[in-house]
Every structure is written in structure tokens, then in C-alpha cells.
RNA sequence: GGCCCCUUGGUCAAGCGGUUAAGACACCGCCCUUUCACGGCGGUAACGGGGGUUCGAGUCCCCCAGGGGUCACCA
């Protein structure tokens, strides 16, 4: 079998959109599954919008996700260059061939003239199609105008009858009427190719075998097929996945919150969670299963698992997945992931790494995003300055609360080893002696130590906090309660 | 507006002519439990509408409606 070669060809817009990320993921999985080649190509012929930073945003996003490419702008490869802005000579070669073959022609119509044609069409309520005014200019006329310094565009000669069929691997055969096509522009007056022409030349010259992309490109495909034909080239196979929509069913945009992978990263999501979530958005293995690692997806991935209907993304499920992954990673890695947050910088400078790792061990598994971690760590790293109001009402107002806290103080002082299991045993025994439920000791203690009503398991918290801090906070709580009376 | 694609619970989605129409997230109960989270158990909730074809239709065909995409010297 012919080697599989797929590509991800984004235009550099500064960041990697999650729709693009999913397209990249599907291509990557397909390449890996068939031991093929995944190429990254930057479609930066729109000189105005393309900058070095904007391509870096794409590259960063892919790298963060862990989707590596085999050929690309930074890596090179046998079919480079991999940014369109460096491929002008290649486009020109194909353009010249088309002109020479009489399959495309120079068009000198000005945008004003075109504007008039469009208006006329609108007035007559018919669809606009270029009038083909320049289609039959003689060689001499063309030469003259070129001499005069006119900068023409190049248009392809489109058929006006018949149909073009896209054999889509996901949707089956999709038929388009050629009569709807016009002699569309394939090269701009500045000499650069337009999108439809550039993709074709690039995909063909890079020997792409499967074009896996989003549905927005389906309607463009007949045009591309026309170009393949004019060029005498074999088209690749096409697979058009549906789009990712916002919760209100409209196209995803800024107003819907995070839409780029870097935004998700900044909001505390893990790459494996985002990847897992994206894989399930518009694709299904058919298996009853939600959690997948990248590597597990490779053998399972298949084009016919891609769905035809658009998928609305649901941040709740992503968040759930993120929580799942967060609960399973090592505290070493956790610390590494959050070490650049301001709050963490501070903690890192004040506490030994070992201590923070212990704290993360307790806290990491009950949080949904990375960004919630500093707040969850707070009472481990800062003094308790206030107590949860409801908690006070509930646990600090009982008649015997001072007794209880003093008893706990006693335990803390006397525990032979300051370990969770030891403390727990002592406390439970003591509760029995006092004929109280353990919970009656636990709640006020938790509030005294953390200022909160909910924390990780109290005895683990105590162990990590250490004897001294526990004592100090317990005494502080006693003083607080006494001052309230 | 023309053309194209799509339509199973709120969301993702299984299903590929015969099922009590899976599962996950979210939501609601209950259990576990020192709180929270986790986990376990259970529950609410769906085939857009109308015609066909067929013994039988979520599954096939047609129409309608709705949603999305596309029609640039953007990609």
C-alpha cells in the first residue's frame, strides 16, 4: 500500500483554535495509525495577517498538545518548503503551465468593473458569475497590457455544465453542479496564488494522500477538483469532518469564552484532557468508553468513526475529564505545571519543595483545574486569619467546644509520632472516652486548622501541617472562641 | 438568496430493518464517609414534522422545517 501522507495546514492566526486542534489530532492519529507521515504546512499567503508570532502560536499549541509532525517549517522534509510564503516559484511553475495549456488566463478587469458586474447581477436578481470578459483576449492584447504595466489576476477556465462529484470518505459522494462555478481567480494581481490554488499545488506536490479537514471546506472541494483536473493531477482522498459549534449552535468565537488551546492551557486544563475531550467531539470508536490516552487512540482511530453532524462543545465534560486526569498525575508533575503561577512562586520561595509536594498530594485530586490549586493550598501555606462563618455557627458555638479543642491540643502534644494513623487512633479513642462521636471532635478541629469546613481528610491534613502548626492554630482558635464569649 | 452538509435526551454519543433505544457529562435521590471530592447504586430525560417502502423503520426513499457551511484579488 502507498504510504499515507496527511497534513495539517492552518493559516497562522496567532493561536491554535480548538477546531484546528481537533483537525490536527484526527490527522495525527490517522498518520500514526498507518505509520504514515504527518506534515505541518503554514498557509501564510495572506501577507497582511501572517507574522512570525502568529505562526509561533500554532506551533506552540501543537507542541503543548504533544502532536508532533514529521515534516514542517522548522523540520524541513523532502517536499518543502513548508510555508506557502516560500513557495512562490512552485506556484508560478504550475500557473505558467496552466496558461500555456490554455486552461487559465490573465484577467485585467479592475475591481471597479467587477463591482459593477456584481451589482448588475444583484439588480437582476441572478447569481453573480464573472462575465469571462478577459477569457478570449488574444496573445497580443495580453502582451500589450502587460507592457503597459497592468497587473492582471489569473482565472481558471471553469466548465459550465456537468457535475463534479466529491467522493468523501465520511459523507459519501457529494455532487455539485458545474454551472454554479465561475472562472474564479487562482492568482492575485500581486502574483500570489489564492487559497484554492495553493492548497491543490501544495497537497499534490507534497504527495498528500488523504485530506482530512473540517466541513467548511466541503463546498470548496469542487473548485479544487477542477484545478487538479486542469493540472492533470490525481486528487487525494477527502474526508470532511463536521464543525465544532458553540453552546448556542453558532460558530465558535471569542464571546463564547475560551476557543484556543492556549486559553484552555491558561485556564488550567491539561493537554491530555483537552486531547481526550477533542477526540470524542465528533468521533467515536463505537466502544462504550470515554477515557483515552493519545496512544490508546491510535489503533482505534478510524475515519468512519467520524460523525457527520456538528458537535457542540460542552465545557462541563471537559472539566470533568480534566479533574479525572488531575487526580491521577504525580505531585511532582503538578508542581511543575503550576510553578509559574504568582501564588506558587511565593510558596516556592517560602516552603521546601517536599512540603509543597505533600500538600499537592492531598489537594490535587479534588480539584478540577490547575488554577484552583493555589486557593486549595492556602491554609497550608498561610496563617488562618478567619473562620468560615457558617462553620463558626455550627462548630464553634457548642457548649463543649473549648473542652474539645483542648482535648485535641492534648492529643497533638502527646502523639508519639505525628502521623495521620496515630493521630486518628488517639482521637477516636478519646472521643469514645468522652462519649462523643468522632465527628464532634473532627469538625471543630478542621475549622480551627484550616478556617474551612471542607478540606482533605483531617488526619492527613494534620500530618502535613505538622505538630507545631496544629498546636498554634488550635490555641489560636481557643483564644478566638473565648474572645467571642 | 443559490448550492452543499447535517438532524437520537440539555450536551457528547452507541445504534447500521426486529433492542425494555446503550454509555458518559450535567441534574436529582440514596449509599460510603470526619467535611469536600472520589467511588457505588438508582432516577428524570431522546429518535424534528409529514408522507411513503416493508410483515416490521431511529435505521431505506421523498417532501417540509430547523441548524450549519459555502458562494472574496481571506485562508
Residue nearest to nucleotide B66 (CA to C1'): A249
| Interval A54-76 mean pLDDT | 94
Q: Quick one: pLDDT band at residue A166, thresholds 50, 70, 90?
A: very high
Task: Please give residues of chain A from 6 to 45 whose alpha-adjacent beta carbon (CB) lies under 7 Å from any atom of strand B.
Answer: 10-11, 43-45
SS3 A260: strand
* Separation in Å: B38 C1' and A131 CA: 68
Per the prediction, chain A carries an average pLDDT of: 94
Whether A51 shows a pLDDT value over 90: the answer reads no
Name residue A212's beta-bridge partners. A239
pTM for the model stands at 0.95
Q: CA A384 to CA A469: how far, in whole Å? A: 10
Percent of chain A whose predicted confidence (pLDDT) is above 90: 86
Residue nearest to nucleotide B74 (CA to C1'): A46
| Interval A350-378 mean pLDDT | 95
- What pLDDT score was predicted for residue A308? 95
- What pLDDT score was predicted for residue A439? 94
- What pLDDT score was predicted for residue A360? 96
* Separation in Å: B33 C1' and A420 CA: 17
- Per the CB < 8 A criterion, the answer to whether A62 and A262 are in contact is no
Whether A350 shows a pLDDT value over 80: the answer reads yes
- What pLDDT score was predicted for residue A146? 92
What are φ and ψ of residue A71, in 5° steps? -135, 145
* Beta-carbon-side half-sphere exposure of residue A15 (alpha carbons within 13 Å): 13
Task: Please give residues of chain A from 231 to 250 whose alpha-adjacent beta carbon (CB) lies under 7 Å from any atom of strand B.
Answer: 242-243, 245, 247, 249-250
Helix (H) or strand (E) holding A481: helix A467-484
* Separation in Å: B71 C1' and A78 CA: 36
Whether A157 shows a pLDDT value over 70: the answer reads yes
Give the nucleotide nearest to A245 (CA→C1'). B68
Helix-, strand-, coil-residue percentages of chain A, each rounded to 5: 55, 10, 35
Whether A125 shows a pLDDT value over 90: the answer reads no
Task: Indicate yes or no: strand B within 7 A of the C-beta of A52.
Answer: no
Q: pLDDT digit string (tens) for A219-278?
A: 999 999 999 999 999 999 999 999 999 998 888 887 888 889 999 999 999 999 999 999
| Interval A48-56 mean pLDDT | 78
Q: Give the residue numbers of A annotated as catalytic, written as ranges.
A: 254
DSSP A456: S
Whether A174 shows a pLDDT value over 80: the answer reads yes
Give the nucleotide nearest to A12 (CA→C1'). B75
Task: Indicate yes or no: strand B within 7 A of the C-beta of A313.
Answer: yes
Q: Give exposure, A229-260, as e/b (b: 16+ Cβ within 10 Å).
A: ebbeeebbebbbbbbbbeeeeeebeeeeebbb
* Separation in Å: B22 C1' and A245 CA: 25
Q: Which of A29, A14, A26, A42 shows the shortest CA–CA distance to A213?
A: A26
In angstroms, how far is CA A370 from the centroid of its own chain?
16
- What pLDDT score was predicted for residue A253? 80
Choose between A36 and A45: higher pLDDT: A36
Helix (H) or strand (E) holding A239: strand A237-241
Task: Please give residues of chain A from 190 to 229 whose alpha-adjacent beta carbon (CB) lies under 7 Å from any atom of strand B.
Answer: 190, 192, 194-196, 198, 215-220
Q: What is the ipTM of this complex?
A: 0.96
Q: Quick one: pLDDT band at residue A49, thresholds 50, 70, 90?
A: low
Task: Indicate yes or no: strand B within 7 A of the C-beta of A453.
Answer: yes
- What pLDDT score was predicted for residue A47? 63
Task: Indicate yes or no: strand B within 7 A of the C-beta of A113.
Answer: no
Task: Indicate yes or no: strand B within 7 A of the C-beta of A302.
Answer: no
- What pLDDT score was predicted for residue A100? 95
Q: CA A232 to CA A252: how far, in whole Å? A: 38
Whether A446 shows a pLDDT value over 80: the answer reads yes
Give the nucleotide nearest to A177 (CA→C1'). B3
Q: Give exposure, A64-76, as e/b (b: 16+ Cβ within 10 Å).
A: bbebebebbbeee
Q: Quick one: pLDDT band at residue A2, thresholds 50, 70, 90?
A: confident
| Interval A436-462 mean pLDDT | 96
Q: CA A360 to CA A374: how far, in whole Å? A: 10
- What pLDDT score was predicted for residue A249? 87
- Per the CB < 8 A criterion, the answer to whether A171 and A135 are in contact is no
* Separation in Å: B63 C1' and A173 CA: 22
Task: Indicate yes or no: strand B within 7 A of the C-beta of A365.
Answer: yes
> What nucleotides of chain B have any atom within 7 angstroms of a protein Cβ?
1-8, 10-15, 22-26, 34-39, 67-75
Task: Indicate yes or no: strand B within 7 A of the C-beta of A56.
Answer: no
Amino acid at each position: 500500500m502507498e504510504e499515507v501522507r496527511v497534513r495539517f495546514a492552518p493559516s497562522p492566526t496567532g493561536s491554535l483554535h480548538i477546531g484546528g486542534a481537533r483537525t490536527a489530532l484526527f490527522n495525527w492519529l490517522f498518520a500514526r495509525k498507518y505509520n504514515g507521515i504527518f506534515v505541518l504546512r503554514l498557509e501564510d499567503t495572506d501577507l497582511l495577517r501572517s507574522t512570525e508570532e502568529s505562526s509561533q502560536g500554532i506551533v506552540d499549541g501543537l507542541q503543548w498538545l504533544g502532536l508532533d509532525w514529521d515534516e514542517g517549517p522548522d523540520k524541513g522534509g523532502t517536499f518543502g518548503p513548508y510555508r506557502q510564503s516560500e513557495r512562490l516559484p512552485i506556484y508560478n511553475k504550475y500557473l505558467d503551465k496552466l496558461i500555456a495549456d490554455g486552461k487559465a488566463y490573465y484577467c485585467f478587469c479592475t475591481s471597479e468593473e467587477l463591482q459593477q458586474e456584481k451589482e448588475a447581477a444583484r439588480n437582476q436578481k441572478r447569481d453573480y458569475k464573472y462575465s469571462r470578459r478577459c477569457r478570449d483576449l488574444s496573445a497580443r492584447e495580453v502582451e500589450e497590457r502587460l507592457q503597459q504595466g497592468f497587473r492582471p489576476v489569473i482565472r481558471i477556465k471553469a466548465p459550465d455544465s456537468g457535475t463534479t462529484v466529491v467522493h468523501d470518505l465520511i459523507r459519501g459522494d457529494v455532487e455539485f453542479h458545474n454551472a454554479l462555478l465561475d472562472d474564479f481567480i487562482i492568482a492575485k494581481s500581486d502574483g500570489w496564488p489564492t487559497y484554492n490554488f495553493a492548497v491543490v499545488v501544495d497537497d499534490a506536490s507534497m504527495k498528500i494522500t488523504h485530506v482530512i479537514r473540517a466541513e467548511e471546506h466541503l463546498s470548496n472541494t469542487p473548485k479544487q477538483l477542477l484545478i487538479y483536473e486542469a493540472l492533470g493531477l490525481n486528487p487525494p482522498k477527502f474526508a470532511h469532518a463536521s464543525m465544532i459549534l458553540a453552546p448556542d449552535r453558532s460558530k465558535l468565537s471569542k464571546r463564547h469564552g475560551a476557543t484556543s488551546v492556549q486559553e484552555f492551557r491558561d485556564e488550567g486544563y491539561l493537554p491530555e484532557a483537552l486531547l481526550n475531550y477533542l477526540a470524542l467531539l465528533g468521533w467515536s470508536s463505537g466502544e462504550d468508553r470515554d477515557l483515552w490516552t493519545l496512544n490508546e487512540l491510535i489503533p482505534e482511530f478510524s475515519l468512519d468513526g467520524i460523525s457527520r453532524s456538528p458537535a457542540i462543545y460542552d465545557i462541563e465534560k471537559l472539566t470533568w475529564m480534566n479533574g479525572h486526569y488531575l487526580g491521577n498525575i504525580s505531585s511532582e508533575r503538578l508542581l511543575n505545571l503550576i510553578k509559574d503561577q504568582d501564588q506558587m512562586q511565593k510558596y516556592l520561595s517560602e516552603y521546601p519543595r517536599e512540603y509543597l509536594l505533600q500538600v499537592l498530594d492531598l489537594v490535587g485530586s479534588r480539584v478540577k483545574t490547575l488554577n484552583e490549586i493555589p486557593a486549595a493550598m492556602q491554609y497550608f501555606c498561610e496563617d488562618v486569619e478567619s473562620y468560615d462563618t457558617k462553620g463558626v455557627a455550627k462548630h464553634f458555638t457548642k457548649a463543649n467546644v473549648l473542652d474539645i479543642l483542648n482535648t485535641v491540643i492534648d492529643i497533638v502534644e502527646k502523639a508519639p509520632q505525628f502521623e495521620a494513623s496515630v493521630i486518628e487512633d488517639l482521637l477516636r479513642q478519646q472521643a469514645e472516652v468522652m462519649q462523643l462521636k468522632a465527628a464532634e471532635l473532627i469538625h471543630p478541629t478542621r475549622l480551627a486548622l484550616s478556617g474551612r469546613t471542607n478540606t482533605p481528610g483531617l488526619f492527613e491534613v494534620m500530618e502535613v501541617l505538622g505538630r507545631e502548626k496544629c498546636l498554634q492554630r488550635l490555641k489560636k482558635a481557643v483564644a478566638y472562641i473565648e474572645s467571642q464569649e
